[in-house]
Structure 1
Amino acid sequence: MAFSAFVVVISLLFMGGGLAKLAGVDVMRRDAERFDLKYGTYRLIGAAELAGGLALCVARFASQPLLGIVAAAGLTALMSGAVVVHLKAKDAVAKTVPAAAFGVITAVIAYFFAAS
C-alpha cells in the first residue's frame, strides 16, 4: 500500500509540472527562455511529464508492471536530460538537485515495478 501511495504522489508531482508547462505559467516560460528552448519544445517536455505521471498511476492501479517500467524509465531519462540542461545553464545546485532526485526516484520506481 505504501508503494501505491508513493507512486500516486510522484505521479501527481509530474502531472502538475507537466500541466504548468502546458498552461504556459509565467515561471515556466522564463525557464524555457533561460534554458534557450523554444516554448513549443518546453510544452512537449510538459506533455511527456504529464503522460509519464499518468502512466505511472495507471500502471500501478491496473496492475500493469511493464507500463510502469516504461513510464518510470521514460521519466528517468527526462530527468537526466533536465539535469544536463540545468548544468548547461549553470544553475545553482539547489535548482539542479530536484531534477536529479526525481530521476533517482523514478529509477527506483522502475525497479519496484520490475520486481513486482
Structure 2
Amino acid sequence: MAFSVFVVVIGLLFMGGGAAKLAGVAVMRGDAKRFGFNYSVYRLIGAAELAGGLALCAARFAQQPLLGISAAIGLTALMFGAVAVHIKAKDAVAKAVPAGAFGLAAAAIAYFFAAS
C-alpha cells in the first residue's frame, strides 16, 4: 500500500512539473533561457516528464511492472541530466537538490517495481 501511494505521489509531481513546462509558466521559461535551451526543446522535456509520471501511475494501477520500470528508468535519467544542467549553469546546490531527489525517487521506484 505504501509503495502504491509513493508511486502515485511521485508520478503526480512529475506530471505537474511537466505540465508547467508545457504550459509555458514564466519560471520555466526563465529556467530554459538560463540553461540555454530553446523553449520548444524545454517543452519536450516537459512532455517526457508528463508522460513518465503518467506511465508510473498507469503501471501501478494496471499492475504492469515493466511499464513502471521503463518509466522510472527514463525519469531517473532525465533527472540526473537535470542535475548536470544545474551544475553546468553553476547553480547553487540547493537548486539541483530537487532534481537529484526526484532522480533517486524514480530509481527507487524502478527497483521496487523490479522486486515486486
> Into which bin does the TM-score normalised by the smaller protein fall?
over 0.9
In structure 2, distance between residues paired with 1:102 and 1:12: 12
Show the counterpart of 1:15: 15
Show the counterpart of 2:79: 79
In structure 1, distance between residues paired with 2:114 and 2:51: 20
**Cα drift, residue 51 of structure 1:** 0.1
In structure 2, distance between residues paired with 1:75 and 1:109: 10
**Cα drift, residue 57 of structure 1:** 0.2
Unaligned runs of 5+ in 2: none
In structure 2, distance between residues paired with 1:51 and 1:14: 9
Show the counterpart of 1:60: 60
Letter in 2 for 1:17: G
TM-score of the superposed pair, with normalisation by structure 2: 0.99
Q: Secondary structure at the match of 2:90?
A: coil
Show the counterpart of 2:47: 47
**Cα drift, residue 35 of structure 1:** 0.2
The CA RMSD measured in Å over matched residues stands at 0.4
In structure 2, distance between residues paired with 1:105 and 1:93: 18
TM-score of the superposed pair, with normalisation by structure 1: 0.99
Letter in 2 for 1:36: G
Alignment partner of 1:104 is 2:104:
yes
Unaligned runs of 5+ in 1: none
In structure 1, distance between residues paired with 2:100 and 2:69: 18
Show the counterpart of 1:24: 24
In structure 1, distance between residues paired with 2:3 and 2:78: 22
Deviations 1:59-83 (A, max 9, x none): 0010000000000000000001000
Letter in 1 for 2:61: F
Q: Report % sequence identity.
A: 79
Size of the aligned set, in residue pairs, is 116
Q: Secondary structure at the match of 2:75?
A: helix
